[in-house]
Amino acid sequence: MSGYRLAVMGNPIRHSKSPIIHKMFAKELNLFVSYERILVPDDGFERTVTSFIKNQGYGFNVTQPCKNKAWEIVDECSEEAQAARAVNTVLIKENGSLRGENTDGVGLIRDLERNLGCTLYKKNILVVGAGGAVSGVLKKLIEKQPFSVSIYNRTVKKADLLASRYPDLVKSVPREELRDDYDLVINGTSIGIGSGQVALPEKILKNAEISYDMFYSDEPTPFQSWSRLHYDIEAYDGLGMLVEQASEAFALWFGKKPDTQSVINQIRNTADPRRV
Ligand code: ATR
């Protein structure tokens, strides 16, 4: 195989859009890359990584449930990855050592600010969820100096634990203390996917300009549909974040930043035509 060998590793991995996105970037920047999906068996992450490196791997992305494991095995990592305790992009250095990065936070911020025109400064932000997805973006959200960042999670203890990493900056809120004055509500859970219902109090959206689902699928996500059903607000999915975090990863590997807007548009247009 010639060119740069890249991959995304996770489980499940079949639906990952990363290969499509990175191939579009490579085409734009005239780089020859191969980018594959690698299914990681249970307890097999390290083995998968070793084999990839041995077989001319140049760099790779990591998705759930392996982001925390990736953070554990890299030799060094960025401040973002350290804060998140999760790695979504790995650089393989010439001496074979691994550097872990986390581009999820910057991906979210770019999509919100640049693509959607949303200001975070002095805003009240509610983040739903306390898993790996949320942990990956909190540092970057806080850096934008919002008025407040609250996190709500079905399992309150997990939200408490995550908030305790950012004393005075992030507050864990139990369900009964959820308010109706958030400017922005971000979903970082797989809530409503499959046969489940979105069981959140509607009032959290009452004053929101935007609801944002970090999740993406070709159909509108359950959280998006739920948001639109209850209030006339802009409800976005996480496609922009996905492309932005990928663009940042690509730049870390190759030192060149691809255009994201055309990729977002192309993927949108080839998905469900009913989407706007
Ligand atoms: P990820 O790394 O993708 O964030 P995770 O670490 O398993 O995955 O976290 C999943 C998040 O989605 C958690 O916040 C989980 O809530 P719990 O901690 O209470 O399990 C949340 N979640 C998943 N399904 C949910 C549902 N049906 N209702 C509410 N929260 C849900």
The torsion region of residue 174 among left (phi > 0), alpha (psi -120 to 50) and beta comes to beta
* 117 and 232 share one domain: yes
Query: Residue 218's pLDDT is what?
Result: 86
Residue 255 pLDDT greater than 70, yes or no: yes
Distance 54 CA to ligand 1 centre (A): 35
SS3 content of the chain, % helix, strand, coil (to 5): 40, 20, 40
* 83 and 117 share one domain: no
* 111 and 94 share one domain: no
**Number of domains comprising the chain:** 2
* 153 and 261 share one domain: no
Domain region containing 233: 105-237
Which residue of 151, 154, 215 sits with most ligand 1 atoms within 8 Å of its CB, as the best mutation to test the pocket? 154
* 197 and 109 share one domain: yes
Contact criterion met (CB below 8 Å) for 51 and 71: no
CA distance 104 to 77: 14
* 151 and 114 share one domain: yes
Strand 98-101 relative to strand 89-92, pairing: antiparallel
What tens digit of pLDDT does each residue of 149-169 get?
Answer: 999 999 999 999 999 999 999
* 172 and 124 share one domain: yes
CA distance 222 to 134: 18
* 118 and 169 share one domain: yes
* 204 and 266 share one domain: no
Query: Residue 167's pLDDT is what?
Result: 95
Residue 137 pLDDT greater than 90, yes or no: yes
Q: Indicate if ligand 1 lies below 6 Å from the C-beta of 85.
A: no
Distance 197 CA to ligand 1 centre (A): 13
What tens digit of pLDDT does each residue of 42-99 get?
Answer: 999 999 999 999 999 999 999 999 999 999 999 999 999 999 999 999 999 999 999 9
Per-residue pLDDT averaged across 119-137, rounded?
96
Ligand 1 atom with least separation from CA of 196: 27
Q: What CATH number does the domain containing 199 carry?
A: 3.40.50.720
CA distance 135 to 133: 6
CA distance 250 to 106: 13
Per-residue pLDDT averaged across 209-222, rounded?
92
* 19 and 66 share one domain: yes
Residue 273 pLDDT greater than 50, yes or no: no
* 114 and 231 share one domain: yes
* 211 and 140 share one domain: yes
CA distance 57 to 243: 22
Percent of the chain residues past pLDDT 70, beyond the cut? 96
Contact criterion met (CB below 8 Å) for 179 and 152: no
Query: Residue 196's pLDDT is what?
Result: 74
Percent of the chain residues past pLDDT 90, beyond the cut? 89
Query: Residue 98's pLDDT is what?
Result: 98
Written as six digits, the tokens of 11 are 């489980």
